[in-house]
Amino acid sequence: MNIETITKESEIAIAVKYDAVDFKNMAGIMGEGYQKLWAYLGQRGKEIVGAPYCKYTNGSADFMKFDIELGIPVSEPLPEQDEIYMANTCEGKAITATHKGAYKEVEKTYAPMMQYLAENKLESTGVYYDYYLNNPADTPESELLTKVVFPLK
């Protein structure tokens, strides 16, 4: 696995937030949230400019519950509607790696990244991003690509 340190620029995105999401309910919540975001973009005739993401914050000690922000990068600010709002992704130093395979197995990428942090005496902000680089509707599960980003302090 190739883990690298990058300098990431912030992107603007439309987003929705869900609090205290249990890991076992994550797929359903994410499907619901992205459906809202795609519908919002479709109503406005807007296109995305980057990969959809899930931002994980406020994780429980056992990493089974998180607050999440689901977002889709856009080229210009758009009006808020109901629970949809404008957000900014992280910027600055981060480590990143690309996971290939099922979303439910992404922890196979997280574990080496955590080890990389420790070995290189780097400190995460405690916020994690998964960027979904291809579409699960037309990509075999074994070929799914998820870019994992850990912003650094």
Mean pLDDT of the chain: 94
Mean pLDDT is lowest, of 22-36, 50-64, 72-86, 90-104, for 50-64
pLDDT digits (tens, 9 = 90+) for 103-147: 989 989 999 999 999 999 999 999 999 999 999 989 999 999 999
Checking if the pLDDT of 12 tops 80, the result is yes
Percentage with pLDDT > 90 across the chain: 84
Q: How far is it, in rounded angstroms, from Cα 13 to Cα 96?
A: 20
Tokens of 100: 């290939």
Q: Which residue in this structure is represented by tokens 């070995």?
A: 119
Give the DSSP letter string of 32-98: HHHHHHHHHHHHHT----S--EEEEES--TTSSEEEEEEEEE-SS----BTTBEEEE---EEEEEEE
**Residue 95: left if φ>0, alpha if ψ -120 to 50, beta else—which one?**
beta
Contact 110, 56 (CB under 8 A): no
pTM, whole model, 2 decimals?
0.94
Using the predicted structure, report yes or no on whether residue 58 has a pLDDT greater than 90: no
Residue located via tokens 């439910």: 104
Number of helices (H), then strands (E), belonging to the chain: the values are: 2, 8
- Predicted pLDDT of residue 130: 97
- Please say if the pLDDT value at position 4 is more than 90: yes
Residue 18 scores a pLDDT above 90 = yes
CA nearest neighbour of 34 among 80, 77, 68, 63? 68
pLDDT for residue 138: 94
User: What CA–CA distances, in Å, run from 73 to 2, 12, 79, 118, 129?
Assistant: 25, 6, 14, 31, 13
- pLDDT single digits (tens) 20-29: 998 889 889 9
Cα angle 12, 107, 150; round to 5: 35
Structural domains for the chain: 4-151 (3.20.80.10)
